[in-house]
Amino acid sequence: MQNKLIISGLIALALQNAWGADTYLKVKIAFYKNSHCAGKPLSTFEYNTAKSCNNYSYVDSKGVTTKGSVGHFRCYPDKLVYDKYPLNWNCHKHGVIYNLNYSVPGDSTKCQRAVSHEGYVYERLLNYKYPGNIYCIVHDKKK
């Protein structure tokens, strides 16, 4: 058993030396008032997929700051999937509205309807590039 652990550790070190340290994809999602996602976005959020929970906040049309969070990102060739916790700052699903396995199309030209506390808005993922794995890890080769 100990030999298997040593071998596994050596393989992991070899892979890390070949590829360098892992970095995680950062993604941007823009929100629009129109169904074509045209013009200047109402807001844009950038999330670090390495974090288990990303907080966001924005000021709504009445001047009230609204908070929420997203986490547990999964990358696919055609979409980004994550868990969404509107009105909740800590990615907790106890006693609040939440949406597990929420998905946004990976094609930056696609615009989809989304719900906000003020009604419908439209969203699209900006400049998404599938990193080649579900974990959203970008492998940068060492030079």
Distance from CA of residue 8 to its chain's centroid?
30
- Residue 143 is predicted with a pLDDT of 43
- Residue 5 is predicted with a pLDDT of 41
Q: pLDDT digits over 52-108, tens only?
A: 999 999 998 899 999 999 999 999 999 999 999 988 889 987 756 778 889 999 999
- Residue 96 is predicted with a pLDDT of 63
Q: Indicate the domain borders of the chain.
A: 22-138
**75, 86 Cβ separation under 8 angstroms:** no
- Residue 72 is predicted with a pLDDT of 94
Query: Parallel, antiparallel, or unpaired for β 26-32 and 119-126?
Result: antiparallel
- Residue 3 is predicted with a pLDDT of 52
- On the question of pLDDT at 2 being above 60, the answer is no
pLDDT grade for 10, boundaries at 50, 70 and 90 = very low
C-alpha radius of gyration, the chain, whole number: 18
Average pLDDT over residues 25-30: 96
Map residue 71 onto helix, strand or coil.
Answer: strand
pTM of the model: 0.79
Helices (H) and strands (E) in the chain, counts: 1, 10
Measured distance CA(133)–CA(75) in Å, rounded: 6
Q: pLDDT digits over 36-54, tens only?
A: 999 999 999 999 999 999 9
Q: Report DSSP letters for 41-62, one per residue.
A: -SEEEEEETTSSEEEEEEE-TT
**Secondary structure letter of residue 141 according to DSSP:** P
